[in-house]
Amino acid sequence: MSAANAAVHGSADAPSRQAQTGPQPVEQLFQLGFGFMTTAALGCVAELEIADKLKNGPKSVALLAAESGVKEEPLYRVLRALATAGVFEERAPKTFALTPAADLLRRDAKGSMRNMMLFLATRIHFELSPEMMHSLKTGETVVEKVYNVSAFEYFEKEQNIRRDLQRCDDGFQRSGDCRGAGGI
């Protein structure tokens, strides 16, 4: 039986649907496929300090938008999308609260991931990721392909990216928690 048939019809080798916990395979692939959008959303809420604004309890999107200087409906769509991933919780219609994941987006949270989310949501990652296949085929880094310089030269030249990366590193060293700090 082909892998595709096994996925659709099941096989002795495939885990049973009843035994599986967590997201279904299709949901898991959608979550991974839309990861770039989730990263952008996380960068936005980190920059707007939404988690800090929710530190003392749930707030309406209208209030969060007013406090952040952004439009209410787009902010609602971002928060709702992140809530489906477990980052925020919609307690009442258009009213959001922190979850343990969202709490890590606060500036003062122990093990804060705020700076890392800001760094991961920078333009460099969205420009480099589509060139991963080039790297697999040639061995050349994606930085060399996109920017025509080595990664070291790029970070030396782009002080703002280097500064953002240093903030991430400093945050992890202060918290002593580097779980998940790696990447692909």
Parse the chain into domains and list their residue ranges. 21-110, 122-184
Is the confidence at residue 177, as pLDDT, over 50? no
Distance of CA 49 to the CA centre of its chain: 15
> Topology of 21-110 in CATH?
Arc Repressor Mutant, subunit A (1.10.10)
Is the confidence at residue 1, as pLDDT, over 70? no
Confidence of residue 54 (pLDDT cuts 50, 70, 90): very high
The average confidence (pLDDT) of the chain is 84
Query: For residue 49, with 0-12 CB atoms within 10 Å meaning exposed, 13-18 middle and 19 or more buried, which class applies?
Result: middle
Confidence of residue 170 (pLDDT cuts 50, 70, 90): low
